Amino acid sequence: MGTSTPLAVVSGGAGGIGGAVCAALSRDGHRVVALGRDPSRLARLARPVEGRVCDVTDEAAVAAAVAEIAAHEPISVLVNSAGTAESAPLHRTTLEAWNTHFAVNATSAFLLTRAVLPAMRERDHGRVVFIASTAAHAGTPYTAAYTASKHAMLGLARTVAAEVAGTGVTSNAVCPAFVRSPMTERSVRRIAERTGRGPEDAERALAEAAPLGRLVAPDEVAAAVSYLASGAAACVNGQSLVLDGGGIQQ
């Protein structure tokens, strides 16, 4: 593998989870490139994390970004953290919302993983980590598009793992319950608006949906990613690390 600084790419790197992942991987000694669509949010990332504007749902944009990022050094770690979430009963879920969830949560992971995997296999080293959700394991009301897209993401992670089994490349997923992040804050606001609950009661309802009894901290998700990206996890492949306090039996 040589002695150069390992390179990590994180999609959704300016988000709550993505930002924590970028910081953790940087502390671990990686050079980190964060991908996102909002230049202003990317500009606020703490150095030495590098921000790069890229629509990770666009095939050509992903191919160009990966080619440029990996032009001088190989990508050792890919973290598929880009995500979106909205809630609605199935009969009110629009096709546009369905397609958006799949594009952001699943297709982006497919495009990025497909782009980086050949070089990882050629070098016989690489780590691919998918930020999925407990929704990848179980269905809950009013989350048809989100849950289906996260199931797709987990299926992709497991398929990649099957293809790289026995090599120096691994593919794993981290599946947290609700995380304290801007995405969850939006969910809290929607619950409050639709139910008339106060924001604290709405947040408590989300927190109590998991045995943990509280929201997961972004740093807890980042710690799981840090482990799966490390040499200590070289024998871990095809796994779904659930962060919910013990509710889901796999």
How close are the terminal C-alpha atoms of the chain, in Å?
34
**Gap between the Cα atoms of 73 and 1, Å rounded:** 11
Q: How do strand 169-176 and strand 126-131 relate by DSSP bridges? A: parallel
DSSP string, 65-105: HHHHHTSSS-EEEEEE-------B-GGG--HHHHHHHHIII
How far apart are the C-alpha atoms of 27 and 46, rounded to whole Å? 12
Sorted by sequence, the CB contacts under 8 Å of residue 247 that are 6+ apart come out as 134, 177, 210, 211, 212
Question: What sign results for the dihedral spanned by CA atoms 157, 161, 112, 5?
Answer: positive
Query: CA–CA separation, 107 vs 236, rounded Å?
Result: 24
Give 222-238 as a DSSP string. HHHHHHHTSGGGTT--S
Catalytic residues: 146
Place of tokens 């990686």: 30
